[in-house]
Structure 1
Amino acid sequence: MVVNLRKISLVLLPIFAALLLEAAIRFLSYQQPDATTYLAAHGQLLLEMLPFFVCHYLASTRSGRPALLIWLGGFIGYPLLSNILAHTIPAYGQWRLLEIQGVVFAMVASVLWFIHHFYGRVKQGPRSWIAHLLSLDFMVALSLFLWAFTVAGVFLYTDNPMVNQPLQMIIDFALITEKLPLFMHYFWQFSLMALVLFGVYWFNRYVLIRRLLAVHGLIPFLAGGLIFILLFSTPISALLLLMPLNNVTDFTLLPSENHNPFDPFNSQMTFWLLMFSTPIILAFERKSQDARVADIARRQTRTELQMLQQQVNPHFLFNTLNNLYALCLERSPQAPDMVEKLAGLLRYTVYQGQKEQVSLVDDVRYLQDYLALQSMRYTDDCHFQCTWPTQAERWQLSPLLLIIVLENAFKHGVEKASKPCELRLALSLDDNRLVFECENPIGQNAQAPVDEDNSGLGLENLRRRLSLQYANRHELISEQRGTHWYTRLQMELTPC
């Protein structure tokens, strides 16, 4: 239960952040700093935004069209319904706090969460657009853009905002449309300030941290930071003083709030920007480095798995060619059929065997074709008792795993056992768990079916692949029981 609550909390976290942001803006707009107003604003918005929480969570538990319909119902349908009720029921219209601004906050938060969730599930390349979208650079730039847009909207709501302080924290989108030139007059100036802040972040990340701290150590990093503060603060402050908003009154938008670009407080602000951004950048760099290391490990694992799968192919091919050679020596009419079966098996090995996952029904058919090929050789010398699973088309697994057990049963069992003999094979499904049992006879002087030739084939190959692809999701038993060798493999499958 604790794990489920934690998962639900993480899913709803962005919507809760949107709620708090909207509630804070509403509370500040009242200019009544008391606990009753604070709790009332937060409580009412929580009640009004409850459908966002519900629909966001329900959409996160589904996929495809159902998820989209639930999301649209919550984030499009509910605001439209609320707007209709506000115009038809005057009492509701006076009570309602949730406006388009809060709806936009909730929608953006939900969309960003789904983008993040999608990014975590899909394997991304180094140039993936979604990787760039979720990069720290983009997020910082987006945050600064939203800050510039928000502050410009707040300035627009108040006449002569540099004089009439404090400002009401309200953004009126209808007013923005009506007074678009004035809004753009405010927006470009705050965008310039945002560009300066982004420049501090960019220089800190790509010059101070990556080129000095990461390569040369702490002392060059501190020295470089100090030089940047002393050389950067004054000319940038002088540049920002040229903005029209800073020429209205004695009050300015600089950290020093005056017309002195040499004021030490401007340099102190640059210092605090570096101070607060450095831990965030370092944490993100560490996460990115861990992701790159994990990606390298996955690539190495995939390469090893491909090598292991390729090792199965020659083993099977040589055994089958030996069988075909024996039939040709006997001038058996079964030889053409064996060639046809062999071609089909090799086709599966070459094309399907290189995939990460194949359908269980295809892998079962591969085993059946292999047994059909072997029955051409042994005819009445060996009886095959087989049980096959139902609903195998619902599940998938790594290819060419099960055949290793069957090949060993023939190589180390049937070929060396006294004839006639019997090979028992049983595959069954218990929900998503596959149980594969194989029991074959062994001769009195025959050795256990292990890798006697030290070529990396057989059961050691199987154990290695299982440890790489089904870690903690499989169980393999292989042991001698009297005159028979018994192998039992359990593994958890994934749905198709």
Structure 2
Amino acid sequence: MKATHFKIDQKYFWVELSFLLFLSFGVSLISDLEYSAYEKHDITKFAEDTGYRLITGSFSLIIYAIYYFAFLKRYVFERKIIGIILCSVGFVIVDQLIYKFPSNWVIIHTDLVSNSLKKRAVEDLLRPHIIFTFNYRVTRSIIPLIGLAFLIRSLTQEREMKELKEQQLVSELNYLKAQLHPHFFFNTINNIYALALKQSTQTAPMVARLGEMMRYILYEADQSTVLLSREITFLSDYIEVEKIRYQEQMSIQYDVQGIRPDSYMKPLLLLPFIENAFKHGLEEETKNGFVHIVICQTDQNLTLQVSNSIPQALKKVAISGIGIHNVRKRLDILYPDRYQLDINETPALYEVNLILTNP
């Protein structure tokens, strides 16, 4: 166990301090109120002992804080039962000694305490022996403080586990995105290569669009969220690259509806579905192939619908790839219980419907 585990944690410090204040002052105050109400039949009588209560409560707060922060919490976090027992026994002994000597001395020499309480303090101070009341301290102080320490340890461990899980998710997400980028660029460069072989005049515009897409992936898509409109621009560039490649040979339809300028989403989630449609829907076709894409935003949802033809050569082959596999994992990480993904395949059609809730 690292030493930082039992240092004062700012997240829970005020909870711990409030509990110590309650044990030091609140319990005595409640007890005095009840005594004044039921024994003296005058609840205002508790005010007569305010000075005495402040002195004893202040000493209690100091000894509680030292016992809890310097010893008890450390041993609870380290799960050292012997340490808990020994420091608790030491707490009872030191508490009684402080009550008998420093506390009584202050009570005797202050004007805040009544003469009757001063007299009782003198008698206690002059008494030659000390009575150690373990049972009272165990039930009133030690058990509550041990319970507090175990509660804080549990909350701390829960928070650390959550942070560790988040770190693992981030690491996995970065790994998946690292896989996505080379895959995307490999496919796009292949497209440019195919045009270059044909000495197409569209090669230069395609390279320019690829440069814009690379800029987006390298400098914007590494953020946790991006503007939805920016993501749509990126997808539009990609689709335009594909249109340049296939020109008029295939039916490529792309429709965007209801995109709000202030909406955000996780980057590069939609690309694999669109990329997959072009790769498997048109790559082997010589005619009659199609890719239809619709992206629509409503008040609560973002919907992606992608459908593509299945070439004759692929009709007996399952359509899958690293992109779709990765995007499923990313959806599980980034949108747990907030997405619906339906993939339907027939002999002639492959269709994807993705709905993101509050993207």
Pairwise same-fold verdict (TM > 0.5): yes
The number of residues matched between the two structures is: 333
Unpaired runs of at least 5, structure 1: 1-125, 154-164, 171-182, 452-456
State whether residues 356 and 399 of structure 1, in contact with CA within 8 Å, keep that contact through their aligned partners in structure 2: yes
Q: Aligned with 2:257: secondary structure?
A: coil
- What is the deviation of 1:349? 0.9
2:338·2:357 contact (CA, 8 Å) conserved in 1? yes
C-alpha displacement of 1:240: 2.9
User: Does 2:293 align with 1:425?
Assistant: yes
**How far, CA to CA, are the matches of 1:310 and 1:254 in structure 2?**
77
Tell me what 1:310 maps to. 178
Larger-Rg structure: 2
Distance 1:253 1:492 in 2: 73
Query: What's 1:445 paired with?
Result: 313
Which whole-Å deviations, capped at 9, do the CAs of 1:233-288 have from their partners, x for residues lacking one? 34323443354324564636999x943571223x4443231112111221221121
- Distance across 2 between alignment mates of 1:235 and 1:404: 73
1:207–1:327 CA distance, 2 compared to 1 (3 A): closer
Letter matched to residue 338 of structure 2: R
Once the two structures are superposed, the pairs formed by residues 365-384 of structure 1 within 5 Å of their partners are 365-384=233-252
Question: Which residue of 331, 342, 354 maps to 1:477?
Answer: 342
Quick check: 1:193 aligned with 2:55? no
SS at match of 1:196: helix
Quote the Cα distance in structure 2 between the aligned partners of 1:463 and 1:326. Answer: 30
Alpha-carbon offset, residue 189 of structure 1: 7.1
Asked if the contact 2:56–2:99 (Cα under 8 Å) also holds between the matched residues in 1, the reply is: no
- Match 2:14 to one of 130, 138, 144: 138
Cα gap change, 1:240/1:315 in structure 2, threshold over 3 Å: closer, same or farther? same
Partner-residue secondary structure (3-state), 2:117: coil
Compared with structure 1, are the counterparts of its residues 384 and 246 closer, same or farther at alpha carbon in structure 2 (3 Å cutoff)?
farther
Structure 1 distance, partners of 2:303, 2:120, is 71
Change (3 A) 1:229 1:334: same
Of residues 203, 208, 214, the one that matches 1:346 is: 214
Partner of 2:117: 251
| Structure 1: distance between partners of 2:96 and 2:244 | 89
Among 162, 166, 169, the alignment partner of 1:298 is: 166
- 3-state SS of paired residue (1:440): strand
Please give the alpha-carbon distance, in whole angstroms, between the structure 1 residues aligned to 2:282 and 2:168.
Answer: 37
Q: Name 1:237's counterpart in structure 2.
A: 99
Provide the rounded CA distance (Å) in 1 between the counterparts of 2:118 and 2:209: 85
C-alpha distance in structure 1 between counterparts of 2:205 and 2:25, whole Å: 75
The amino acid that maps onto 2:102 is L
Structure 1 length as normaliser, TM-score? 0.59
Amino acid at match of 1:194: L
**Equivalent residue for 1:210, pick from 77, 82, 107:** 77
User: Post-superposition shift, 1:371?
Assistant: 0.6
> Following the alignment from structure 1 to structure 2, what is the Cα–Cα distance between the partners of residues 169 and 389?
72
- Structure 2 residue ranges without an equivalent (≥5): 30-41
C-alpha contact 2:272 2:327 (8 A) present in aligned 1: yes
- Superposed, which structure 2 residues align to 1:153-192 within 5 Å? 190-192=57-59
Q: Residues 392 and 207 from structure 1, CA distance in 2 versus in 1: closer, same or farther, beyond 3 angstroms?
A: closer
SS of residue paired to 2:239: helix
Q: Which amino acid in 2 is paired with 1:206?
A: K
The 3 A distance-change label for structure 1 pair 208 and 323 is closer
Against the structure 1 CA distance between its residues 139 and 393, is the aligned structure 2 distance closer, same or farther, given a 3 Å change threshold?
same
Equivalent residue, structure 2, for 1:408: 276
Sequence identity, in percent? 21
- Picking from 388, 392, 396, the partner of 2:264 is 396
* 1:138 to 1:416, Cα distance in 2 relative to 1, 3 A: same
Tell me the distance in 2 between the aligned counterparts of 1:352 and 1:184.
Answer: 64
Correspondence 1:254-273 to 2 at 5 A: 258-259=124-125, 260=127, 262-265=130-133, 267-272=134-139, 273=141
The one-letter code sitting in structure 2 at the alignment partner of 1:140 is: E
State which of 437, 458, 461 in structure 1 corresponds to 2:323.
458
Deviation string 1:50-101 (CA, Å, 9 cap, x unpaired) is xxxxxxxxxxxxxxxxxxxxxxxxxxxxxxxxxxxxxxxxxxxxxxxxxxxx
What one-letter code is carried by the residue in structure 2 that aligns with 1:316?
A: F
Query: Any idea what the Cα deviations from partners look like across 1:271-316, whole Å, max 9, x if unmatched?
Result: 2311121112212211211111011001101111111112111111
Counterpart-to-counterpart distance in 2, 1:253 and 1:428:
84
Deviation at residue 474 of structure 1 after TM alignment: 1.2
Which of 143, 162, 174 lines up with 1:275 in the alignment?
Answer: 143
Single out whichever of 373-382 and 183-192 deviates more from structure 2: 183-192
| Pairing 1:356–2:232 present | no
1:299 alignment partner AA: Q
Cα 1:425–1:253 change in 2 (3 A) is farther
Would you say the 8 A contact 1:358–1:397 is kept in 2?
A: yes
Q: Secondary structure at the match of 2:261?
A: helix
TM-score of the pair, normalised by structure 2: 0.80
Cα distance change on mapping 1:143 and 1:233 into 2, 3 Å: closer
CA 1:421–1:222: 2 relative to 1, 3 Å:
closer
Instruction: Name the Cα RMSD after superposition.
Output: 3.7
Correspondence for 1:329 among 190, 197, 213: 197
**CA deviation string 1:17-54 (max 9, x = no partner):** xxxxxxxxxxxxxxxxxxxxxxxxxxxxxxxxxxxxxx
Q: Which has the higher contact order (CA 8 A, sep 6+)?
A: 2
Aligned residue in 2 for 1:91: none
Match of 1:17 in 2: none
CA distance in 1, matches of 2:311, 2:71: 73
- Given that 1:233 and 1:270 are in contact with CA atoms closer than 8 Å, whether structure 2 keeps it comes out as no
SS in 2 for 1:384: strand
Q: Which moved more, 1:299-308 or 1:440-449?
A: 440-449
Equivalent-residue separation in structure 2 for 1:398 and 1:434 (angstroms): 12
